[in-house]
Structure 1
Amino acid sequence: MKNQQNELEQSLSARHMSMIAIGGVIGAGLFVGSGAAIHKVGPGILVSYVIAGVLVFLIMKSLGEMATANPTSGSFSEYARDAIGPWAGTTIGWLYWFQWVVVIAIEAIAGAAIIHTWYPGIPLWFLALALTIALTLTNIYSVKSFGEFEYWFAMIKVASIIAFLILGVSYIFGFIGEPAVGTSNLVENGGFFPNGISAVFIGVITVFFSFAGTEVATIAAAESKDPVKSVSKAINSTIWRVLIFYVGSIAVVVTLLPWNSANVLQSPFVAVLENLGIPFAAHLMNFIVLTAVLSCLNAGLYTTSRMLFSLAKKGDAPQYFTKLNKKGVPARAVFAATIFSYFAVVMSYVSPELVFLFLVNSSGAIILLVYLLISISQLRMRRKLERENPEALKVKMWLFPYLTYATILGISIILISMAFIESTRSQLYSTLLLTGVIIVLNHYFGKKKIDSSEEKSKLSKDLSLLKQSEAE
């Protein structure tokens, strides 16, 4: 059986992979966090979303090129190891693992807060614990159950946004309601760029993080029945997913509501629905946000377990985590993620201003470092594949190497810019500190591993020579 050989089961169908890819780009940040970005930039935030979306698409195109050539649960960690060096693979793997276990804690707290508004008598900590345990059991049961839950979570998110778009466009052009709302909100209240063109680039930095999660499909590809086809389809559909779900929905928001409306800051989607007279708008949107939160929590448990499993197989984590259960799931790796997230949830109540704040800040810029190393890996691996195995290049980055260089430059600009923005400075420095610690620990333990390996090799040679001399 596959699980006896420590190999993951390929149980995810094309249906699962399609919705994982579509749903992965729709996070709770779109429904809630977009309000702050709109308030900073104005209607011009649409340009910010387009720029960030194009950059994410190029990153996914780079990742798709490598993932179709070598679908693996370690995904970009494995590619960085092969293209840049073992230190890069280990560092990016542990950083990504850390980011997601913190996200699991954050999403559990967010989901608990939503349910708490409906059932205020239940303690928040109990709700956070219950959500995490429920989705942990889902992930442990089988990879197919993860895919099934993610399929329906994504379906609800997609259906909600499509309904929102249809409703919004109908009001804008007067198909519903009288008279037509029109586009006056895009040009009034200071114009399309009320805070200047420079605010658009600040907006790019703000909204870029809301796209995190698009890479989950390439990790799941290793457990799909047709990884090459699944990844190709997911990557090629990234651009329209970004345009429809992000640019489309935000365009409806800024067209129907003044960008400087106080309601936009709280929840722009709720504000639009209430403005259109939709009954129970807040409760309806809370349900949709809860779905997005649970989807993110589900994906987080999946990705952290597969990344830890991959690190363990490469000797960069304890071999204990390579063990699979009867369903071919790395259950021990799933539990490891939840244990850390339980600690983070506890810290959110015990030490919200110190420990929990550091955990959140230190994970803030990780996705940028991950995307940067993905692009650098693709730059190096593409040339290697062209020399050694050109037929493996089933998905190719456009205009190579120019668009790859442009992607690296774009990510670098965002990273550097974070140092000059007060709200993101602490995130950048905390992430760099964490990265430095991981690199130092990796160097120390890597050296010990090499020394131990050399010692075993020397001992083996000595025993071989001793047996040879005894035989003579």
Structure 2
Amino acid sequence: MKFMSEPIKMKRGLKNRHLQMIALGGAIGTGLFYGSASTIALAGPAVMLAYLIGGAVIFFIMRMLGEMAVDEPVSGSFSYYATKYWGRFPGFLSGWNYWFNYVLVSMAELTAVGIYMQFWYPDLPQWAAALVCLVVITAVNLINVRLYGEFEFWMALIKISAIVMMIVMGLYLLFSGPQAFPDNFSNLWRNGGFLPNGWWGLALSVTVVMFSFGGIELIGITAGEAEDPDHTIPRAINQVIWRILLFYVGTMAVLMALWPWNQVGMEASPFVQIFSYVGVPAAAHILNFVVLTAAVSVYNSAIYSNSRMLYGLATKEEAPEFLGRLSGRGVPVRGIFVSSGITLICVALNYFFPGKIFMYLMSVATIAATISWMVITITHLKFRRQCRREGRETKFRAPLCPVINYLCLAFLIGIWFFMTQIPDMRLAVWLLPVWLLLLWAGYRFREYRRG
């Protein structure tokens, strides 16, 4: 396999605190603030167990990616590893699948920015706010990787601070609210029990919960630009998982204890409910600011990760050669322009044709995260076999390999099955073979062009 030479290298400007917030910010999105009510409706108080199960699976998958990233910290991450240890098509598939997924996610977040700004400025055109966000974030990413890391650090910190405030305020209500402590904790098993919708409801809830963790694999994309990757990547992976579980499970535990599960999110977002009960009149404004920040944060990470994925694909000759060149600051400028430019086109299409083609594309994006996780899991198996053949030890070994790899694969296949049982997710599963066929056609065309 021929890799292109590149005299200018990417700069290792991301510190441990950047990696921590990038990983946390990528996995904590608007779903926790707005979408948690629908997840609670599926499982009731057992939604806490759903986050524990999903978080455990993601932890093991991240350890697999972390072992490969520490052993060989490169841009392009799991796409590079899939090509090297599995084959050209798996690397092509994983890279373009990840890129396409994040293009769609960034389109949605860019559109959301316009909607959130209209909360304060109803007459502001949605396209105008989206355009300003696109220009600012693109400029931030063009300068250097450290500026991106700083920007994402503070955006993610706002989201995390909001969650911490929600937990603290919720605990205050638990111990001093109208219901006497500890009687209010009986909400965890009253109203149908801890599993009001049975194990089936829990399984459906786990399926929805898994998409809350989409984006955490971004930490692997940063490996090529992390300072001292031997130490920063393991620390980021080991620390970020228990923090996410604390935020998600902690928030759900507080909500389930405060109110009967079938009343959470009925009047407003659970976030607004807590702040309104405490007596904060600006609860809706606070929430809007937080979700606006969350949308900008996800768009920022999407532009960053997509440009690095395009660069990684180009260095393997699986994307156009011009995308494999860096600026003098070590930034893949062309990949940034391509990724942000496509989101601009799609936002325009969404403006002229709302609720049509865009939603069909988004249904494909919902399943793309599971494809990425499957590629990581299978590639790690092949990586370990290669290490055994060479008789070498890795620095950051993933635990319980290979048994946990097969369990994770079975779990992800199960997610596909349960997606067919949820009307809003069913279309993504039916479109999966079509999407894989398109990727195969793209790969064959690329191979034909290469001769």
Q: Same fold (TM over 0.5)?
A: yes
Normalising by the residue count of structure 2, what TM-score does the alignment of the two structures yield?
0.95
2:399 matched residue in structure 1: 398
1:139 Cα offset (Å)? 0.5
- Point out 4+ residue stretches in structure 1 off by more than 3 angstroms: 176-181, 262-266
Q: Which range moves more in the overlay, 353-362 or 113-122?
A: 353-362
CA distance in 2, matches of 1:302, 1:118: 28
1:265 Cα offset (Å)? 7.5
8 Å contact kept, 2:10–2:330: yes
CA distance in 1, matches of 2:164, 2:125: 34
2:263 matched residue in structure 1: 261
Q: What is the identity, as a one-letter code, of the residue corresponding to 1:274? A: S
Which one of 94, 103, 106 corresponds to residue 105 of structure 2? 103
Residues 202-244 of structure 1 show CA distances to partners (whole Å, capped at 9, x for unaligned) of: 0011110011111111111210111121110122123312221
Normalising by the residue count of structure 1, what TM-score does the alignment of the two structures yield?
0.90
8 Å contact kept, 2:152–2:297: yes
8 Å contact kept, 1:418–1:425: yes
**Residues 1:4 and 1:74: Cα distance change in structure 2 (over 3 Å):** closer
Q: Which range moves more in the overlay, 343-352 or 263-272?
A: 263-272
8 Å contact kept, 1:372–1:412: no
Which one of 225, 231, 234 corresponds to residue 232 of structure 1? 234
Q: What is the identity, as a one-letter code, of the residue corresponding to 1:323? A: R
1:417 matched residue in structure 2: 418
Q: Which range moves more in the overlay, 230-239 or 308-317?
A: 230-239
8 Å contact kept, 1:38–1:264: no
CA distance in 1, matches of 2:392, 2:284: 53
Describe how 1:97-246 pairs up with structure 2 within 5 A: 97-174=99-176, 179-180=180-181, 182-246=184-248
1:464 matched residue in structure 2: none
1:437 matched residue in structure 2: 438
CA distance in 2, matches of 1:188, 1:342: 49
> Aligned Cα RMSD in Å?
1.8
> How many corresponding residue pairs?
446
Structure 2 gaps, min length 5: none
2:92 matched residue in structure 1: 90
8 Å contact kept, 1:363–1:431: no
8 Å contact kept, 1:324–1:331: yes
CA distance in 2, matches of 1:331, 1:66: 26
1:275 Cα offset (Å)? 2.7
CA distance in 1, matches of 2:256, 2:111: 29
Q: Establish whether residue 295 from structure 1 lines up as the match of residue 297 from structure 2.
A: yes
1:459 matched residue in structure 2: none
CA distance in 1, matches of 2:74, 2:117: 37
8 Å contact kept, 1:36–1:265: no
1:293 Cα offset (Å)? 1.2
Q: Which range moves more in the overlay, 180-189 or 192-201?
A: 180-189
2:44 matched residue in structure 1: 42
Q: What is the identity, as a one-letter code, of the residue corresponding to 2:417? A: I
CA distance in 1, matches of 2:326, 2:66: 27
8 Å contact kept, 1:186–1:192: yes
8 Å contact kept, 1:39–1:264: no
CA distance in 2, matches of 1:266, 1:363: 27
Q: What is the identity, as a one-letter code, of the residue corresponding to 2:88? A: P
CA distance in 2, matches of 1:263, 1:159: 21
CA distance in 1, matches of 2:175, 2:403: 41
1:414 Cα offset (Å)? 0.7
Structure 1 gaps, min length 5: 452-472
**Residues 1:49 and 1:439: Cα distance change in structure 2 (over 3 Å):** same
1:178 Cα offset (Å)? 7.0
1:427 matched residue in structure 2: 428
8 Å contact kept, 2:81–2:91: yes
CA distance in 1, matches of 2:20, 2:100: 26
CA distance in 1, matches of 2:432, 2:344: 21
**Residues 1:28 and 1:203: Cα distance change in structure 2 (over 3 Å):** same
1:380 matched residue in structure 2: 382
Q: What is the identity, as a one-letter code, of the residue corresponding to 1:146? A: Y
Bigger Rg, which one? 1
8 Å contact kept, 1:257–1:272: no
1:119 Cα offset (Å)? 1.0
Residues 71-93 of structure 1 show CA distances to partners (whole Å, capped at 9, x for unaligned) of: 11110101111221100001110
8 Å contact kept, 2:45–2:195: yes
Q: What is the identity, as a one-letter code, of the residue corresponding to 2:204? A: I
Q: What is the identity, as a one-letter code, of the residue corresponding to 1:64? A: G
2:9 matched residue in structure 1: 7
